[in-house]
Amino acid sequence: MMSKQILSIQSSIFGDQGVSSGLAKQLVDKFVAEADYQLTVRDVTQDNIPHFNAQTLSDIADGNATLADALIAEVQQADVIVIAAPMYNFSIPSQLKSWFDHIARAGVTFKYTELGPQGLLTNKKVYVVTARGGQYQGSGKDIDSSYLNVILPFLGLTDVEFIYAEGVNMGGDTRESSIQAAEKQVNDLVA
């Protein structure tokens, strides 16, 4: 039997040192070690996923959108997707937004029906690991989570769980206690 696939989307500008990167890696490692998942890592910031533009659209029309096709295939093949989504200027990293721009393709990852849009990336579990310098969970300023709560279900990714590490730049012991709480949450997820 083919082993299940886990896709790790990393997007911190701090690479492996990012808070979101570390937590996401911990979660992914658990799936690999405890449930024998096969891992694909896509670091959208290191790979510098370019802005989606008119050329990308015409490449898609011509069947030449190599990068977008590869990014879509990675998502289609995944059973579990772990998205590390740090908050930068109240949003997700622009490279992660570009990743969404590349994978959202009408007729492939979503389609329009008489009843409205329908996501085509179904039967996948998504974990979003977010890290913030401040504390915004549940507030109107939690724009990155609001966006992810719209774009993911739009693509059919309806089973989404968030892990928050907040207040990591607030000083005192907020950083440590917040990361520890997130680590515990991660530990309890793949039990």
Ligand X SMILES: Cc1cc2nc3c(=O)[nH]c(=O)nc-3n(C[C@H](O)[C@H](O)[C@H](O)COP(=O)(O)O)c2cc1C
**Looking at 13-21, 97-105, 152-160, 180-188, which segment touches ligand X (CB under 6 A)?**
13-21
Is 90 one of the binding residues for ligand X (CB under 6 A)? yes
Select 14 or 112, whichever has its Cβ closest to ligand X.
14
Q: Minimum distance between the CB of residue 104 and ligand X, rounded to whole angstroms?
A: 23
Q: Minimum distance between the CB of residue 127 and ligand X, rounded to whole angstroms?
A: 14
Is 144 one of the binding residues for ligand X (CB under 6 A)? no
Contact map string, positions 50 to 89, toward ligand X, x by CB under 6 A = ------------------------------------xxxx
Is 18 one of the binding residues for ligand X (CB under 6 A)? yes
3-state DSSP of the chain: CCCCEEEEEECCCCHHHCHHHHHHHHHHHHHHHHHCCEEEEEECCCCCCCCCCHHHHHHHHHCCCHHHHHHHHHHHHCCEEEEECCCECCECCHHHHHHHHHHCCECCCEEEECCEEEECCCCCEEEEEEECCCCCCCCCCCHHHHHHHHHHHHCCCCEEEEEEECCCCCCCCHHHHHHHHHHHHHHHHCC
Is 123 one of the binding residues for ligand X (CB under 6 A)? no
Is 148 one of the binding residues for ligand X (CB under 6 A)? no
Interacting residues with ligand X (CB under 6 A): 12-14, 18-21, 86-90, 131-134, 168-169
